[in-house]
Amino acid sequence: QQIQEDLNKQLLDNLVSFLSRSHSDFQEKTTKWTCRMKFREIPTAAVVLGVNVTDHDLTFRGLSDVLQDNITPYVALLEAKDCPAIKNLMQKLMGQLMNCDIEVDSLEDEDCVQVPQNRIRCSMLSLISWYESVTKKTDSGTPSKKRNSSSRHWQSPPVVVIFKDMESFTTKVLQDFIVISSQHIHELPLVLIFGIATSPMIIHRLLPHSVSSLLCIELFQSLSCKEHLSTIIDKLLLTSLFPFKLGEKVLQVLINIFLYHDFSVQNFIKGFQLCIVEHFYSQPLSVLCCHLVDLKKRVYSLSHAQCENIRRLPSFRRYVEKQESGKQIELLTNDSFLKKETERLLEDLYVYHENYVSILRCLHVFTSSLPKYPLGKQIRELHCACLENQVWETEEYESSLQLARMLNKTDLVSMLQQCVEILTSSSGKEFDKTVEKLKEFLTQFQNLEAEASQERDVSVSSQKELQKKTDLYHLQKTLLELKESRRSKKLTKFEMLRFEVVDYIDRLVRKYLVPADNRTLHEIVYFNAATVLRGHLNAAPRTALHTALNNPHRYLKNQALKCDGGGISNKAPDICIVYKLHLECGRLINLVDWLEAFSTVVMAGEEPNADAASSDQVDDIIHARFIRAVSELELLGFIKPSKQKTDHVARLTWGGC
């Protein structure tokens, strides 16, 4: 558990730092812009952020930090849910600004301000007077009090107000605030920043012309979430930093949720986190999922039971079956031998990862420039394809190789150069040879240059010859000859080389990009329970209810419940019977008929021990059971009482049977 928390933390830290880095350039732009604002209208920055609202928290926090450090100590962050009316907005704004002030000041000297926090009297006027008092203090007293240099330049630092979610503000509040603050803009230099999830059109839709003319809007665009995703995948999955890996199906699930549901990077991270938790919780051998440094110690501290667990892994069994019999026995009985072997195998796995990643990048360099992207544009698609099965057996790979054989030289050279770079930067040791080979290719290409020009000369001369002949017969003959020669054409040296290169890449792929499922002991490092993950992240309560009501046998393992679909079994629980009967109805259901149908079904079930004398009693019980089942259905939201007709209920779902 401890390890896993560590891992988790490490991972999250990495992510957060990465996210803030990706935002930083964009933040810089905004800050620069805030610096050179003018005093006529309210300067406004509209920041288009995309629909993944959940990720924006981090952006805004970063933004306000940057602003606070560089420009002005007065930054307020407003959220729509805190400001249902203009009064609340002002209160919130005041509170935050004064707090900011206290925070900044308290860094330098403790005793200077005691801003009274009476939130009742929060008006624009008091805000202005407060502002004046603060700025005057800065002016009159010690400029050095403020640490940031900008406030020394600026006699009055601007007050920045960030509206986090522009769309969810009420129009009236927003308009009122803008109108009010525009009247005081001379005393109180305000800068507004709108966070917009949809498109800049929304500003004009929310604000009438008279209000939006008070603003001086500049638009900023943030990175799209897809780019975030690819960088995150790049940093998280395609590194050897983290020993924990995702299996193909799991990755597919996560990416699907991202692309088809919410575009939220945060949710992706949550899913990833869940994978880690799930893996370390369910897989007893996940202790071995650690860095190479710790591996040896942990392998040697394994208990006997854990060794048995290793032996039980399917991939290990496959491995054992391939060994000769003497070694097999050793592996299956001798613990210490097994440990040694395990360590070796895990080290292999580690090396495999390093090689895998760099070769994957090389292959991506090749395939991403091909027309139509048979293997996908992004590296994640390639990664999925490689994990899924042996990539060289797929059609897409075949076609991409064919396309690669038709590449022209400049592209090829540049790609090779990129590959060399990747391989040299990767830490794997096995690539010295490869790099050399590729470099050799490169030099050969350079040599080719000269030959190629010669060749061109030849062809040009033949062309000239062609022009000389004027005789029709001769012309035909030479043309034929040319054609002949072209057909039987010995491949030019360049083409030969090209084939060679492609073949070499092909060989590399075959060697290193073996899917992880085929490796021994991959279970320790890979998490592959995609269904569990999907169940927890992307649940379908309606489906669960439907199956439980339609087919209770799924949950209650009783022989009596097993029946063909469609029909109504009289042995099912009450609520299932009632549900099935209600499926057969239209939009409105008559309660009396429903009750009768129910009692018919139930009576049929209890016929064997029916007693004529107590039939009234039984009737009452059935009535009670019916009432219970109907009110349960009402609670579940399948029906609701209807006023259209007496004693009828309306169905809220449709279809059925």
Partner 1 sequence: SLAKKIKEQKMGNLVEEYFEAHSSSKVLTSDRTLQKLRKRRLNQQTLHELLKNAPLAYAAEIRDLNEQHESLFSKWMLQLHLGFNIVLYGLGSKRDLLEKFRTSLLLDSVHLVVNGYFPSITVRSILNSITEEVLDHIGTFRSPLDQLEFITKRFKEDSSLELYVLIHNLDSQMLRGERSQQILAQLSSLPSIYLIASIDHINAPLMWDQTKLRLYNWLWYETTTFNPYVEETSYENSLLVQQSGSLALSSLTHVLHSLTLNARGIFRLLAQHQLEKKDNPSYPGLSFQDFYQQCREAFLVNSDLTLRAQLTEFRDHKLIRTKRGADGVEYLLIPVDESTLADFLEKEDEDV
Site for partner 1 in 602-641 (CB under 8 A): 619-621, 623-628, 630-632, 634-638, 641
- Kindly state whether residue 647 participates in binding partner 1, applying the rule CB under 8 A: yes
DSSP letter string over 403-445? HHTT--HHHHHHHHHHHHHHHHHS--TTHHHHHHHHHHHHHHH
Interface with partner 1 (CB under 8 A), residue from 548, 563, 568, 603: 548
- Measured distance CA(194)–CA(168) in Å, rounded: 11
Interface with partner 1 (CB under 8 A), residue from 130, 173, 237, 262: 262
> Smallest Cα–Cα separation from 511: which of 291, 372, 326, 363?
363
> Smallest Cα–Cα separation from 225: which of 365, 17, 380, 53?
53
Length of the chain: 657
Nearer to partner 1, 311 or 571 (CB): 571
Min separation Cβ 541 and partner 1, Å:
4
Sign, CA dihedral 499-500-503-508, equals negative
Residues 6+ apart with CB under 8 A from 382: 360, 363, 364, 367, 375, 376
Residues 381-440 that bind partner 1 (CB under 8 A): none
Min separation Cβ 80 and partner 1, Å:
10
The number of angstroms, rounded, from the C-alpha of 5 to the middle of its chain's C-alpha atoms is 21
- Kindly state whether residue 300 participates in binding partner 1, applying the rule CB under 8 A: no
Min separation Cβ 498 and partner 1, Å:
36
Min separation Cβ 516 and partner 1, Å:
26
Min separation Cβ 274 and partner 1, Å:
7
> Smallest Cα–Cα separation from 378: which of 226, 498, 518, 243?
226
- Kindly state whether residue 314 participates in binding partner 1, applying the rule CB under 8 A: no
Interface with partner 1 (CB under 8 A), residue from 11, 53, 375, 509: 53
- Kindly state whether residue 592 participates in binding partner 1, applying the rule CB under 8 A: yes
Please name the amino acid found at residue 508. L
- Kindly state whether residue 584 participates in binding partner 1, applying the rule CB under 8 A: no
Min separation Cβ 215 and partner 1, Å:
26
User: How far apart, in Å, are the Cα atoms of 343 and each of 288, 301, 357, 538?
Assistant: 10, 12, 22, 37
Nearer to partner 1, 328 or 531 (CB): 531
Helix axes 248-256, 265-282, angle to 10 degrees: 150
Interface with partner 1 (CB under 8 A), residue from 170, 266, 399, 570: 266
The number of angstroms, rounded, from the C-alpha of 431 to the middle of its chain's C-alpha atoms is 32
- Kindly state whether residue 332 participates in binding partner 1, applying the rule CB under 8 A: no
- Kindly state whether residue 81 participates in binding partner 1, applying the rule CB under 8 A: yes
Interface with partner 1 (CB under 8 A), residue from 537, 563, 568, 603: 537
Min separation Cβ 505 and partner 1, Å:
32
Q: Virtual CA dihedral for 492, 495, 500, 501, nearest 10 degrees?
A: 140
Range in contact with partner 1 (rule: CB under 8 A) among 151-159, 241-249, 456-464, 542-550: 542-550
Say whether 162 sits in a helix, a strand or coil.
Answer: strand
Min separation Cβ 653 and partner 1, Å:
7
Min separation Cβ 207 and partner 1, Å:
23
Min separation Cβ 181 and partner 1, Å:
23
- Kindly state whether residue 326 participates in binding partner 1, applying the rule CB under 8 A: no
> Smallest Cα–Cα separation from 176: which of 81, 60, 83?
83
- Kindly state whether residue 649 participates in binding partner 1, applying the rule CB under 8 A: yes
Say whether 121 sits in a helix, a strand or coil.
Answer: coil
Interface with partner 1 (CB under 8 A), residue from 372, 557, 565, 608: 557
Sign, CA dihedral 76-82-83-89, equals negative
Nearer to partner 1, 460 or 652 (CB): 652
- Measured distance CA(604)–CA(599) in Å, rounded: 8
Burial string for 121-137 (b: 16+ CB within 10 Å, else e) reads ebebeebeebbeebbee
Interface with partner 1 (CB under 8 A), residue from 144, 470, 609, 646: 646
- Kindly state whether residue 552 participates in binding partner 1, applying the rule CB under 8 A: yes
Helix axes 304-312, 335-367, angle to 10 degrees: 50
Enclosing H/E stretch for 563: none
Interface with partner 1 (CB under 8 A), residue from 24, 518, 535, 606: 535
Min separation Cβ 572 and partner 1, Å:
8
Min separation Cβ 477 and partner 1, Å:
53
- Kindly state whether residue 555 participates in binding partner 1, applying the rule CB under 8 A: yes
Nearer to partner 1, 424 or 538 (CB): 538
Interface with partner 1 (CB under 8 A), residue from 545, 563, 568, 603: 545
Interface with partner 1 (CB under 8 A), residue from 29, 270, 340, 439: 270
Q: Say if CB 248 and CB 382 are below 8 A apart.
A: no
- Kindly state whether residue 97 participates in binding partner 1, applying the rule CB under 8 A: no
- Kindly state whether residue 563 participates in binding partner 1, applying the rule CB under 8 A: no
